[in-house]
Structure 1
Amino acid sequence: MSNHSRRQQKKHSHTPLRVINLFLLVIFILLSVVSLFLMYRHHFLAFRHLNVIYGVVIVLIILASLFLCIKNKARIFTTIILVLASIFVATTLYGFKSTIDLTNNLNKTASYSEIEMSVVVPKDSKITNIEAVSKLAAPVKNDTSNITDLIEHIKSEEGISITPQKTDSYQDAYNRIKNGNSQAMVLNNAYVSLIELSTPDFKSQIKTIYTYKIKKKINRKNTNHKEGVFNIYISGIDTFGSISTVSRSDVNIIMTVNTNTHKVLLTTTPRDAYVKIPDGGGNQYDKLTHAGLYGVETSMKTLENLYDINLDYYARINFSSFLKLIDLLGGVTVYNDQAFTSKHGNFDFPVGQVTLNSEQALGFVRERYSLQGGDNDRGRNQEKVIAAIINKLASSQSVTKLNSITSQLQTSVQTNMTIDNINDLINNQLSTGQRFTV
């Protein structure tokens, strides 16, 4: 065989490998473009120039692979490099996309609130379905929109027209069905805890014959805040279960974060503070906790008006999410300055450093009757636990596991903080390594 023939045979034998390398290069470029777009769009790896290094390495791999493909050199080496690089970029891209999806799920529930409206009758009533009800007691003046939505829904879905019998309050409506003056009553489930203050056995004295969940969009405009400084409203609602459920806000804390100085200021407003409540509250004075009955945006407006500030973001948690977060962090340690026994859980808390599991932490932050300063001391205990949570979340161990923590809390927490906001905080922490002081 002549030298020319051998060269031709060798050239043809390498043609499939060259085509494979060009195909791998195209795949790598596509993965890299999407990965780089998401990285810069959502501020991933924006600490210690890691994003720049990542981008430069990708460009160098593309240029080197393109050169080797054109020159038809080091074909097997090029194949190995492109396969390994594609796997690495694909894995990184998957991580970016998973994080974005997690945050979007958190933001999804933050776009609406859920109000559960029911029709209830006395537990010994012979009425078992909505068809048997023609009139029902309802505080139309106090909860106009929700009651109207319920009655219209019953008419459109069940074909039943019901006339509301006007009452002064949900408590008054309950008194009417208890005394036999009305067949049934409308019940906004957010008000159950209020009724139980005067009627502790309320739930055991009624039965539900119809339920309708109303979803309402939460409208919060983005505010312009000083670079590196922003306010987060932390709302703790007094329920278990769905985080989107409207309820009283028993914890009302403004967390002011300064990423320039790495300082966090916590401002607690007592739940029973007598304040003007806008929107559904009609700018009338009432307890701050009741602002939560009109939605998280009303609680935020109430505090903004009270302190003449802007609240940039909010995080809303309930008992379920609080328990889960403490468990994920492996408990928290706080300093307790007065010995007490909690009503919730009957836990004994001595003076000094105490390490709390999730159930103990819930008892610690809910207690007020056993404390010398009542609600004010409860607010201070809530601040202690939040400070402990922040310090644990800001630790290098927790920051690297934030995706895992977020994924397990995505159905238990409401927040309007975007992926960009969260990544900026993570990048700042990883870049400086400086602990936040609370």
Structure 2
Amino acid sequence: MDIKVVHKKKHKSQGKIFSFINWLFFIVLLFFTCIDLFMMFKYNFLNFKNINYIILGFSFFILLGIFLLNKFKKIKVLTCIFSIFFILITFFSFSYIKKGLNLFNKLNENAKIVENTMVVAVLSDSNIESVNDITDDVFAPVDLDKENIDKLLEDITNKTKVKLNIKNTSSYLQAYEDLISKKNKVIVFNAAYGDLISNIHPDYLTKIKKIYEYKIIEKVKEKKVDVNLKDKDSFNMYISGIDTYGPITTVSRTDVNVILTVNKKMHKILLTTTPRDSYVKIAGKGNNQYDKLTHSGIYGIDSSVKTLENLYGIKIDHYARVNFTTFMKLIDLVGGIDVKNDQDFISYHGKYHFPIGIVHLDSKKALGFVRERYGLSDGDRDRGRNHEKVITSLINKLTSKKALTNFSSILDEISSSVQTDMTIDEIMDLVNQQLDSNEKFKIQSQSLNGFGKVGLPSYAMPGYKLYMMEVNKESLENCKNKIQQILEEK
């Protein structure tokens, strides 16, 4: 009899422990479930085909079931197992959502700053090793880039107590050429203009020695958005491909300039390519002076956006700035792409052979394909057409259900190499709409045409005979009309 009493007390004690543990697990499960549901509805995750509401209902019944099992103290061990199982599910869901939010935040954080590197340089064989050794005048285009030059001089004075005497020159390229011809001994240059110098002097970095560097990090003014994208049937987005590797925040020329005109209602996308050599008025720090479109990038993304808005008479709602590092990652992430090639050529970059017909491109081949212009009959305009082909194929891959359901891992790979001012709500709305309809976008393309000229004045490189494309007015009007047609189609 005593043994039975002891056994009964032990069983009762174990029951209380299980009951306590089960209620504790229920509270933990309730916490993670509420967090998951809150984040899912707040940030529009899985908001297609009513999946978010299905998950809400399923979560309610799971919580109710475990609550009733705890309340009536039924199958305590099994209840404990169920609780642990669903806690793990909600915890991993929480981790997945949080990871996605962090990636979106990273994309937006990238868009909030720009980096400019200012350099003091001498000839590679110069005896000058630091700014303390400078006794001569320092040459720089003060009229062209006064703000950045002043920041560099202020940093030098604050850190070394050295005050440099600056003499004005017409451009960074002129300062460099005077340096190598030994007309001066010390120059300042903005690394963003390095590509402009390398166009004329590809080996310029081997001939100079940097004795001081200062990285200028500036905050970008946030663009005021009148209407959220989810409230609009159509919008324009600027895709800027920058001509550099490394951090996306680095200021650089724009090598690819494509406007995506998207009509969500009609499932149509129009790609409008503006060749990098287009001779247009450069907005912002380009002071509305004529120059190559590619040079707008050295004044920041706002300059490029405003330049294209002025050119086409449109409003660009958002932008995405992508460097070649991103481009290569994206191609491989979707398993490569297929494009129709119209010309047989061997690329300068990578020496890849591209026969006429359908060609499969991995990241390295795609880079050679889109960079080629000298081996193509229509030069930069043919390169622009190849950009359109690659972007079209990439959009088709990225808007497929397979890619969209795996978009978190794609974002993870490219988050450090993309800048965009689109919000998480806007991106998720586009993803959900596509998953909901599963309708393929019809993609069209057009390119601004013109006439090649040498010798037109360049604001960034005055005095140098550069190749420009003078815009054909009829082509410009046709592009404008086509953009408006896609925007307004109902």
* TM, length-normalised to structure 2: 0.85
Report deviation, 1:12.
4.4
Is 2:210 aligned against 1:205?
no
Q: How far did residue 5 of structure 1 move?
A: 10
One-letter amino acid of the structure 2 residue matched with residue 285 of structure 1: Y
SS at 2:314 equivalent: coil
Matches within 5 A, 1:87-166: 87-134=88-135, 135-166=137-168
Which SS does the other structure have where 1:175 is aligned?
A: helix
Q: Which amino acid in structure 2 is aligned with residue 350 of structure 1?
A: P
Q: Which amino acid counterpart does residue 82 of structure 2 have in structure 1?
A: I
Counterpart CA distance in 2 for 1:236 and 1:77 is 56
Per-residue CA distance 1:225-263 (angstroms, 9 max, x = gap): 552422221111111222211011010001122232222
- C-alpha distance in 2, partners of 1:188/1:63? 64
Which structure 1 residue ranges, 4+ long, deviate > 6 Å from structure 2?
2-9
Contact 1:251/1:271 (CA < 8 Å) preserved in 2? Answer: yes
Which one-letter code corresponds to 2:326 in the other structure? Answer: S
Q: Which residue of 1 aligns with 2:335?
A: 330
Q: 1:71 to 1:369 in 2, by over 3 A?
A: same
TM-aligned CA deviation for residue 122 of structure 1: 1.1
Choose which of 363, 374, 396 in structure 1 pairs with 2:401.
396
* Alpha-carbon distance, 1:11 to partner: 4.6
The Cα shift of 1:80 comes to: 2.2
**1:26-105 alignment runs, 5 A limit:** 26-105=27-106
- Out of 409-418 and 84-93, give the one that drifted further: 409-418
How many percent identity over aligned positions? 44
SS of residue paired to 2:143: coil
Distance 1:258 1:23 in 2: 51
In structure 2, the residue matched to 1:385 is 390
Q: Could you tell me which of 335, 344, 365 is aligned with 1:339?
A: 344
Cα contact 1:231–1:256 (8 A) shared by 2: yes
- 1:219 maps to a residue whose letter is K
Q: CA deviation at 1:106?
A: 1.9
Where in structure 2 are the equivalents of 1:302-381 lying within 5 Å?
A: 302-381=307-386
Q: Is the 8 A contact 2:284 2:302 kept in 1?
A: no
| Rounded Cα–Cα distance in structure 1 between residues aligned with 2:65 and 2:302 | 54
- Cα pair 2:241 2:322 within 8 Å, conserved: yes
Structure 1's 72 and 200: CA in aligned 2 closer, same or farther, altered over 3 A? closer
* C-alpha RMSD of the superposition: 2.1
The equivalent residue for 1:278 is 283
Distance, in Å, in 2 between the alignment partners of 1:345 and 1:79 is 60
The 2-side partners of 1:384 and 1:320 are apart by: 19
TM-score (norm 1): 0.94
Alpha carbons of structure 1 residues 24 and 285: separation in structure 2 relative to 1, 3 Å: same
Q: Which deviates more from structure 2 when the two are superposed, residues 21-30 or residues 327-336?
A: 327-336
Tell me the equivalent position of 2:451: none
Q: Answer whether contact 1:47 1:430 (CA < 8 A) is retained.
A: yes
Which of 211, 215, 218 is residue 217 of structure 2 equivalent to?
215
Matched, 1:230 2:248: no
Q: For residue 261 of structure 1, what is the aligned residue in structure 2?
A: 266
Corresponding residue pairs, total: 438
Offset at residue 290 of structure 1 (A): 0.7
Distance in 2 between residues matched to 1:375 and 1:295, nearest whole Å: 23
Is 1:220–1:297's contact at 8 Å kept on the other side of the alignment? no
Distance in 2 (alpha carbons) for counterparts of 1:283 and 1:293: 14
SS class of match (1:142)? helix
For 1:109, the aligned partner's letter is N
Q: Does 1:437 align with 2:442?
A: yes
- What's the CA shift string for 1:305-336, capped at 9, x where partnerless? 22222222221122222222222222211001
Displacement after TM superposition at 1:125 (Å): 1.0
Whether the 8 Å contact between 1:249 and 1:271 is mirrored in structure 2 is: yes
Instruction: Give the Å deviation of 1:286.
Output: 1.4
Counterpart of 1:241 in structure 2 is 246
Amino acid at match of 1:136: V
Tell me, yes or no, if the aligned pair for 2:240 and 2:320 is still in contact at 8 Å: yes
Instruction: Give 1:40 deviation, angstroms.
Output: 0.7
Q: Deviations over 1:144-190 (max 9, x none)?
A: 11111111111112221111111111122113322333221001111
Amino acid at match of 1:66: F
CA shift in 2, pair 1:6/1:345, >3 Å: closer
The one of 183, 186, 192 aligned to 1:184: 186
Q: 3-state SS of the aligned residue for 2:416?
A: coil
Q: Give the Å deviation of 1:36.
A: 0.8
1-side partners of 2:274 and 2:287: how far apart?
21
Secondary structure of the structure 2 residue equivalent to 1:397: helix
3-state secondary structure, aligned to 1:386? helix
User: What amino acid sits opposite 1:20 in the alignment?
Assistant: I
User: Structure 1 residue 10: deviation in Å?
Assistant: 5.4
Structure-2 change in CA distance of 1:19 and 1:376 (3 Å) = same
Q: Do the aligned partners of 1:247 and 1:293 also contact (CA within 8 Å) in 2?
A: yes
Residues 222, 312 of structure 1: 8 Å contact kept: no
Asked if the contact 1:137/1:176 (under 8 Å) is kept, the reply is no
How far did residue 4 of structure 1 move?
Answer: 10
1:427 has 2:432 as partner = yes
